[in-house]
Structure 1
Amino acid sequence: MILITGATGTVGSEVIKALLPAQAGNLRVLTRDPGAVFPDGAQKVVADLGDSDLTPVLDGVHAVFSITHGLNIAAHDRRLVAAAQRAGVERIVKLSVRSVGHDGADPITTLHRAGEEAIRDSGIGWSFLRPTGFMSNALNWAGMIAADQVVYAPFAAGRAAVVDPADIAAVAVACLTQDGHDHRIYELTGPDPLSPADQVTLLGEVLSRDLRYVEADPAGMVSQMVSYGMPEEEAQAVIELFRSTLEPYNSEPTNDVAAVTGRPARSFTDWAKAHRAEFPTPDAVQDAATGGESR
């Protein structure tokens, strides 16, 4: 049995899609949401890594894909590891961040580093996936693009070889189901170092729209995340992780996706083409607001 934590998230949902249908009946997914719906072949378990009894969650599990987030990353990793040891789990694949291996000292990187250490010390076989920023973060710009075709985002000077979450999932599946990945660390990137302005330009080409990028104040992004319900301390931590795009290592592509999967990492342009429908046009937004009435 394979267990996926963080199953409703960006990467977790991609891993589930990549494992099915081959692992149907051999896949357990963990969620805190009793109403969450998953594809046929995945067994849903409702629990919380922070306070639930994880013994039944891990019963019969031989491999775990661990996705933890927020300011509880290390605490949740430690609870999961302790339960995995008791259950006789053979392999843990952890989704971490690239900055762990490059002396990152921001809060989220520090928490992931502590989580990795707990897994290393457990005696369980492990693989660590350390991606750079996700291409899918560009979906956060969809509302701005539909409204006035201007994207506001911080750190204009930052460049990152952003990666498709589906490529992360493909590597995760290999680590979960194949031998040869124990005690391996994979830094997962896309093929091209891109600034926010570069991404906006490529999106404009794919969407056939004249898009523009404007650098935003990081403090304003923190306020926006807080307005959406994120605790301020966590929002500050997220911004500090985003600030790592200013570090040179984030702009350096690796070959790890290809080395594990046997195919090149997807480009941002190809990702954008695949997700074109998730960027509504201004007319679509207007139609939705007016109930589909013509103007």
Structure 2
Amino acid sequence: MILVTGATGTVGREVLRLLVRRGEPSRAMTRDPARLSFVGAGVRVVPGDFEAPETLRAAVSGVEGVFLLTAPGARVPEHDLAMIDAARAANVRKVVKLSAIGADVGPAAWHAPGEQALAGSGVAWTTLRPSSFASNVLRWADSIRAGRPVPNMTGPGTQGVVDPRDVAEVAVETLLGTAYDGLALTLTGPDLVSVPDQVADLSDVLGRPIRTVDVAPAAAREHMLAGGMDPTVVDVAVRGFQVVREGGNAVVTGDVRRVLGRPARAFRVWARDHRDTLLGAIE
């Protein structure tokens, strides 16, 4: 039995789908069970709240493995530790934590306490540190629909943009196996791409011209705060933009290939496979 947290999100939803396809008994944890109407046979939906320890204890009871995904924000350490404590008390065999690239040293350092707690928990663990998700480009849909240029927060900086499907596949392999116990895997796409590179691929795939406009970090901060985003999330995002802009996230690894035995999917493949979704979002 595998418990999946963050089950309504991009990666968690795909992890559930893959577990169902492989016939693995699964539980999906959520604060709002109505949002999980998509789950298939073999998945039990359980209520759970990282700030209510009793619900976590119930969610992990009888569970063999946990996919631990906590929402970005200042409470990531608290939420990670709550689930790790519950998993340890329930004698869970394995926890796979979704972290972020550079979590030990970079802007996403809020993942570091959870990583450290896992390493000292006595529970088998694997940490996944993905780079920027290909699916993040869906945030540009409003700009594309309105004929406005896509905002480029990272200038000419490049990243090993990763397909969320690859992250989910690696998560399932590490949950069900032992070969990568005790390791932190950095998950990237096969090559380095910038925002202009991504926009060029999208223009080709969608058959429409798309432009970019450079947005300075200070302006990005003002826009996100005006939109009501959590200031702690904004701070991390802006630091992350600056790191990428300065070349600090120009990282490509072979960890996806190492686990899955095939190359990581390129951004263009993600765009092509999600063409209908992209068109639906912008039309």
**Which TM-score applies when normalising by structure 2?**
0.92
Is contact 2:11–2:167 with CA below 8 Å preserved after alignment? yes
Q: 1:81 aligns with which of 84, 91, 99?
A: 84
Q: Aligned AA for 2:173?
A: A
Structure 1 partner of 2:102? 99
Is contact 2:57–2:86 with CA below 8 Å preserved after alignment? yes
Structure 2 partner of 1:60? 62
Structure 2 partner of 1:261? 260
Question: How far 1:52 sits from its partner (Å)?
Answer: 4.1
Q: Give the match's secondary structure for 1:280.
A: helix
1:96 and 1:114 map into 2 onto residues whose CA distance is 11
2:11 and 2:234 map into 1 onto residues whose CA distance is 20
- Map 1:27-176 onto structure 2 (within 5 A): 27-37=26-36, 38-40=38-40, 41-53=42-54, 54-68=56-70, 69-101=72-104, 103-104=105-106, 106=107, 109-148=108-147, 150-176=149-175
C-alpha deviations, 1:164-201, integer Å up to 9, x for none? 00000010000001121111121100011111111111
| Structure 1 residues 153 and 248: CA distance shift in structure 2, 3 A | closer
5+ residue gaps, structure 1:
286-295
Q: Give the match's secondary structure for 2:200.
A: helix
Q: Aligned AA for 1:62?
A: E
Question: How far 1:110 sits from its partner (Å)?
Answer: 1.8
**Which TM-score applies when normalising by structure 1?**
0.89
| Structure 1 residues 31 and 185: CA distance shift in structure 2, 3 A | same
**Number of positions where the alignment pairs a residue of Structure 1 with one of Structure 2:** 279
1:226 and 1:52 map into 2 onto residues whose CA distance is 31
Structure 1 partner of 2:214? 215
1:152 and 1:247 map into 2 onto residues whose CA distance is 17
Is contact 1:62–1:89 with CA below 8 Å preserved after alignment? yes
* Larger displacement relative to structure 2 (10-19 or 248-257): 248-257
Q: Aligned AA for 1:96?
A: S
Question: How far 1:247 sits from its partner (Å)?
Answer: 5.2
1:223 and 1:13 map into 2 onto residues whose CA distance is 32
Q: Aligned AA for 1:188?
A: L
Q: Aligned AA for 2:46?
A: V
2:51 and 2:233 map into 1 onto residues whose CA distance is 16
2:275 and 2:120 map into 1 onto residues whose CA distance is 43
Question: How far 1:146 sits from its partner (Å)?
Answer: 1.5
Percent identity over paired residues: 39
Q: Give the match's secondary structure for 2:14.
A: helix
Q: Aligned AA for 2:11?
A: V
